[in-house]
Amino acid sequence: MNEINHLQFEYLLQLSSAYWKSQVLFTAIELDIFTAIGNKHLAAEELAHSINANAKATEKILDALVSLDLLVKQEKLYQNSPIANSYLIKGKPFYQGNAIHHFNNIAENWTMLSQTVKTGEAVVLKDLPEEADPHDLKDFITAMQNIASVKSHDICATIPLKNPRNMLDIAGGPGTYSIEFVKKYPELHAVIFDLKHVTKLTHDFIQAAGLQERIKVQAGNCLEDDFGTNCYDTILVSNLLHIYNPENNITILKKCWKALQNEGTLIIHEFVLDETKTHPQFAALFSLNMLIGTQEGASYSETEYRSWLKTVGCNKITRTDLQSNSSLIIGKK
């Protein structure tokens, strides 16, 4: 009889049931449990009443949230854990509820992975309307704002820019990175370039930050439109290149090179794979997410990003890993 490795067996069970954990978190965000608790200590019955839910069922999901370290239970009272206090209460500066809601929105797409692998095509794109649904678009952009609210501090602290004056933020979406850079550098002005239907939302985020005089918006298509010539000392390309194939990415980076001033800095922010393309795990799984949800997207390796930057003319190429799951590949003109 073959010897049983219980750790391997347990790993497979945990892997197979991993969606249980996600669904508990998705439901807690949907019911706004963490905001309802706030800084209080509540019994399950109290919370159930405030979120208009069944008391016994509420107690079960609260206990599950405790098991996931998202709540703390003392006797029969529940309170938010440090993670929940930082990231899961509406109104907090680093709230991630919209980002979590986005992962819930795309979960159904992953049920089509088998068909996508067989055909090599993004099945979920076949029945999409030509125009993005305004509600879905807002969900996506606010999700990106949530994630960028955390990463923008890390990026600004990591990149040693010297007195930047003019920055181009390509596919800047909610403008979170531009807002953070402009706050850090008093002389800096930024232009956020994105699709027309996105820029309508971008204006709202800029206005909320009170930076209308220093951040402008330009609507366009990064494959079809020009970025200008010798206009910017800093260009940020964040979480864009994973949507396209290598040829299109080189096209985008050539336009960046043209728009960059001499001695300027071109910053790529992405989930970067190692040379085996199997790690980090998030980047490997994200590449599948791009297979499922885009026509030609993927995660790429450092070697590929460096090759593209060299092709367009960049030198002094460096890499910096951020504290979370992404990296910066930086080139100079």
Q: Mind telling me the catalytic residues? A: 242
Structure tokens at 106: 């795309």
Its sign, for the CA torsion 220, 226, 231, 234, is positive
Alpha-carbon distance 215 to 120, whole Å?
A: 40
Alpha-carbon distance 289 to 3, whole Å?
A: 37
Alpha-carbon distance 76 to 58, whole Å?
A: 13
Confirm if 154 and 176 have CB atoms less than 8 A apart. no
Identify the three-state secondary structure at position 129. Answer: coil
Q: What is the greatest pairwise CA distance in the chain?
A: 74
- Which residues are CB-neighbours of 49 under 8 A, at least 6 positions away? 55
Neighbour count for residue 102 (Cβ, 10 Å):
20
Question: Of 190, 181, 208, 100, whose CA–CA distance to 147 is shortest?
Answer: 100
Per this entry, what is the length of the chain?
Answer: 333
Question: Of 108, 109, 94, 104, whose CA–CA distance to 31 is shortest?
Answer: 104
Structure tokens at 314: 């960049």
Kindly give the interhelix angle for 196-209 and 134-158, rounded to the nearest 10 degrees. 60
Structure tokens at 318: 């460096």
Give me the amino acid identity at 29.
I
